A and B are shown apart, each in its own frame.
Chain A
Amino acid sequence: MTWETVIGLETHVELATKTKIFCGCTTEFGGAPNTHCCPVCTGMPGALPVLNERVLEFAVKTGLALHGTVTRRCKFDRKNYFYPDLPKAYQISQLYLPIVRDGALEIPLAGGGTKAIRIRELHMEEDAGKLVHDPWIDQTRCDYNRCGVPLIEIVTEPDFRTAEEVIAYLEKLKSTLQYLGVSDCKMQEGSLRCDVNLSVRPAGSAELGARTEMKNLNSFKAVSRAIAYEARRQIELIEEGKRVVQETRRWDENKDATFSMRSKENAQDYRYFPDPDLPPLELSEAYLERLREQIPEMADEKAARYQARLGLPAYDAQMLTGQKALAGFFEAAVALGAPPKQAANWIMGEVLRRLSADGLEAKDMTLTPGALARLIALVQEGRINRNTAVRVFDAIFADGGDVDAYVAAHGLEQVSDAGLVEAAVERVLAANPKSVADYRAGKEKAFGFLVGQAMRELKGQAAPQAVHRALGAALKQP
């Protein structure tokens, strides 16, 4: 029997507001334990939450960018449960009237084309604190710095069929959130986390199988592997005549497997009810309109513009717009005079190579668009060759030095004096009579060897075309 995997995602995104969702404490990552706290986020008696309006704006903007319906009268609810990382013993979230419903995100498919993933809802909520167990003294300590950091949770319909689709969605979502400027989406700092709901069913069946929810997926890689593992586990269970238990499972990165956390029977009753401390929100059409106007040009629109106006191939346009910072870098370099296709080539080639080698995100790069534009100009003017340019690029990538200064300091400028090139060619021809003879006997390969020798003679600082030209001319002479 062939099986179909059905997947839905719940993604928690930390919003990039300066302050927390219900108080004025900083949201900065890190910090000594319990230094980013106040009576409100530590749940002191009598302290009350007041909504940070930026959080609402970010959530609404995200909802609009995901083509969702914004709930014009929305409320917060309390999700009640006891745990030491939750100082009020309830999380302020939204169950009954989430801020956004019925959105969609279009993802590119591996085989070409796109697929719309339906978004069931998007809601606002607060993050909990962090518990740190100290095995030496056998004590658990609470750090409430993260309590009240604003999150949005984005819940999809079960529209995914493969891990690739899930990753494509996460990448698109990440890009969308970064374009909006609402989140940094740093998975390693936990600002983008997702839970995967997965079930399997015989291909062609319309009914959904019993699903499990997987937690603790801290990277795209973990998401892919967990999906592969869990789908196989469920299929094997069914093929052995057993039943899939609806439960929450935890992904163990080290063991490469999921483990049961709690079953549905043991699921907590969160006793949700409307939070009486936060008055319902009434959003006017004018408010939504103002936010709609603030939404910047998004990846798809940018990619279309790069193709139509800058003449880039679709592939380049998609690569460059995949990350907002990369697209911004590209546009700035082009604005400084770099020809679009050349700038694109450099970015997709050298820039991405170095980012990946250095483990950097495009937005954390120190290289300036000006430096790249200058580098491209020097190559175009024939003052350095492409190989030298890559050397300069690598040298200034990390420390952001000046391109011209580097070229001058290292004597990298190309030899453009025809006399020097011709003199070098003559020396090479004189020193390699056998190769000259071979070439004249019809061995084309010998030409390349002679070019190489001439370049070496010129310390690599000659324009290859000039060497070709001089060598060709010299060989034609009897």
Chain B
Amino acid sequence: MELYELTALELGACLRRGEVSQEEVCAAARARIAAAQPENNAFLTLAEEIPPAPDLTASPLAGVPMAYKDNLCTRGVRTTCASKILGNFVPPYDAGAVERLSAAGAVPMGKLNMDEFAMGSTSETSFYGPVKNPWDLTRAPGGSSGGAAAAVAAGEIWYAIGSDTGGSIRQPAACCGVTGMKPTYGAVSRYGLIAYASSLDQIGPIARSAADCAAVLDVIRGRDRRDGTSLEAPAGSLLAGLTGDVRGLRIGLPAGCFGDGLDPASRRAVQGAAEVLRARGARVEACELPLADYAVPAYYIIACAEASSNLSRFDGVKYGRRAEHCRDLGELYCKTRTEGFGAEVKRRILLGTFVLSAGYYDAYYKKALQVKALIKDAFDRAFRQFDLLLTPVTPAAPPRLGESLGDPLRMYLSDVYTVPVNLAGLPALSMPCGFDGQGLPIGAQLIGPALGDAAVLNAAHAFQLETGYHKKRPKGGTAP
């Protein structure tokens, strides 16, 4: 068995047992990255030097090569958000999650490609070129954490840290056949995460298994006094809580998520996942989850409104790229932002500026907040009857490269299963549960109540004890 076929926890154990050296592990990762990068463009920046050998007792993941999505600030390492405007930005500080992982012995290999400012569902809006799906290099890997999912799927790194605002961890994880988790809003400090939509953004892992995700979350979750929205972690280790026991667990399948618009292969695969869990003792039933139809418009209004404000600081005055030859302040702002932002980012800034404008605030932004509250209520009601919900992650296989760029509405609608979770601030995980007729991976989404991260991970772990989808690797040309 090759090193890259191991999970992060397995590799960490091998390192601790001395079966493999830190040098060998890093060399293997570098070789995989060197081979895969020209094909999938998953990385934006590669670590120049490998940090000194970590303390292997620091965490079960110590010594395991990994990488960060390029919207997490890394001290002294360029952080671009895949945008031209931050092409030269080197943060003088680490994000909270980065600090915790460093202390836990993580070995960062570089920074991962993504949709520009995490705005997109295909990882094609990057200024530095699209990421390609390791399962089919003519297809998108999903987004916005496409580089993270692709690099893990291609065996370049053992896990990655991404961010999820409307599905940006779960959707690419599904498209690339890996496991990705968006924890409860507030579980992980957002300090140092370059904001897209602050009330929805959440950092989380993309890895090879639910157990790996639990191990990563054990390290990064918890209160950070620098993020007022961060929460104290519930007691106990998530990893240690993975019993695989789902007997009596009540799992709801929202009927609306399995109707028209869902690819039949996906429907079969997700329903198959439900059967696997039922076979292990879970009680699986259909349920209602109303208002899901309004989630996408509400999401785009809220996210764009916040983004229009969050991205205003990129004005060429203090850091990042500044347009040259400007005659006055207005031109400095205008040219810097016109040249520095890509089309999708501009579209969302304009949309967000519009919905917050005088006379439109009540009609759009305020209404969207009301929808958000109603969706939260709908979930609350569902969780009175069920412990978890199971849904698809995406309506269909990832699009071919270039296919969705000209049709933003279609791209937005592909977020239909993931955005309600962000609006309600809930934990949700995407796990591989099958393949479609073209051999492309399909994901299933497990959603839990707020702070129910442990239950979500345990159900996914139970599924992965029964099945081998998460162990499947793309064949492509990525093996050296």
Contact = CB atoms under 8 A, between A and B. Distances in A.
Interface string A44-61: 111111110000000000
Interface string B73-116: 10000010100001001011101000000000000000000000
A84 B308 CA distance: 17
A87 B317 contact: yes
A90 B194 contact: no
B228 A49 contact: yes
Interface string A278-291: 11000000000000
A276 interface: yes
Contact of B194 (A45, A50, A277): A45
A47 B199 CA distance: 15
Contacts of A78: 309
B317 A273 contact: no
B90 to A, nearest CB: 11
Nearest to A277: B198
A242 to B, nearest CB: 28
Interface in B356-377: 356-358, 361, 365
B315 A89 contact: yes
Contacts of B89: 45
Interface stretch (B185-193, B206-214, B254-262): B185-193
Contacts of A142: 317-318
A271 B71 CA distance: 26
B226 A48 contact: yes
Given A46-B193, A273-B305, A278 B228 contact: yes
Nearest to B320: A45
A45 B86 contact: yes
A139 to B, nearest CB: 12
A82 interface: yes
B294 interface: no
Given A50-B226, A87-B318, A279-B228, A43 B309 contact: no
A216 interface: no
B329 interface: yes
Contacts of A276: 197-199, 229, 306
Contacts, number: 101
B195 interface: yes
Interface in A254-310: 269, 271-273, 276-279
B233 to A, nearest CB: 17
A88 B86 CA distance: 15
A46 B81 CA distance: 11
Interface in A89-107: 89-90
A80 B226 contact: no
A46 B226 contact: no
B177 to A, nearest CB: 30
Interface centre among B86, B195, B317, B361 (most CB of A within 10 A): B317
Interface centre among B81, B192, B365 (most CB of A within 10 A): B192
A42 interface: yes
Contact of B93 (A39, A89, A269): A39
A46 B357 contact: no
Contacts of A50: 225-228
B475 interface: no
Interface residues of B, number: 44
Contact of B229 (A39, A82, A88, A277): A277
B309 A80 contact: yes
A278 B227 CA distance: 8
A271 B309 CA distance: 9
Contacts of A84: 315, 317, 329
Contacts of B318: 42-44, 87, 142
A45 B305 contact: no
Nearest to B201: A276
Contacts of A279: 228-229
A88 B319 CA distance: 12
B357 A44 contact: no
Interface string A185-215: 0000000000000000000000000000000
B13 to A, nearest CB: 33
Interface centre among B198, B313, B357 (most CB of A within 10 A): B313
Nearest to A269: B358
A370 to B, nearest CB: 45
A46 B228 contact: no
A41 to B, nearest CB: 12
Nearest to B227: A48
Contacts of B190: 46, 48
Contacts of A88: 312-313
B329 A273 contact: no
A273 B227 contact: no
B353 interface: yes
Nearest to B192: A46
Given A46-B195, A80-B309, A82-B333, A271 B356 contact: yes
A304 B197 CA distance: 55
Contacts of B198: 276-277
Interface centre among B306, B318, B353, B357 (most CB of A within 10 A): B318
Nearest to A144: B318
A82 B191 contact: no
Contacts of A273: 305-306, 309, 356, 361, 365
Contact of A46 (B91, B199, B317, B356): B91
A19 to B, nearest CB: 13
A84 B313 CA distance: 10
Contacts of A42: 318
A171 B256 CA distance: 65
B329 A46 contact: no
A43 to B, nearest CB: 5
A271 B306 CA distance: 11
A437 B123 CA distance: 116
Nearest to B199: A276
A337 B279 CA distance: 91
A75 to B, nearest CB: 12
A78 B192 CA distance: 20
A21 to B, nearest CB: 12
B69 to A, nearest CB: 12
Nearest to B186: A279
Given A45-B194, A48-B190, A90-B312, A269 B91 contact: no
Interface of B: 71-73, 79, 81, 86, 89, 91-93, 95, 190-195, 197-199, 225-229, 305-306, 308-309, 312-315, 317-319, 329, 333, 353, 356-358, 361, 365
20 contacts: A39-B92, A44-B318, A45-B81, A45-B313, A46-B190, A49-B228, A50-B225, A51-B228, A80-B309, A80-B312, A82-B312, A87-B313, A88-B313, A90-B312, A142-B317, A271-B308, A273-B309, A273-B365, A276-B229, A278-B228
Which 5 A-B residue pairs are closest in the complex by CB-CB distance? Answer: A89-B312, A276-B199, A271-B356, A276-B198, A46-B192
Given A46-B192, A90-B312, A273-B356, 17 more contacts: A43-B313, A44-B318, A45-B89, A45-B91, A46-B91, A47-B93, A48-B228, A80-B308, A80-B309, A82-B333, A89-B313, A271-B353, A271-B358, A273-B361, A276-B199, A276-B229, A277-B228
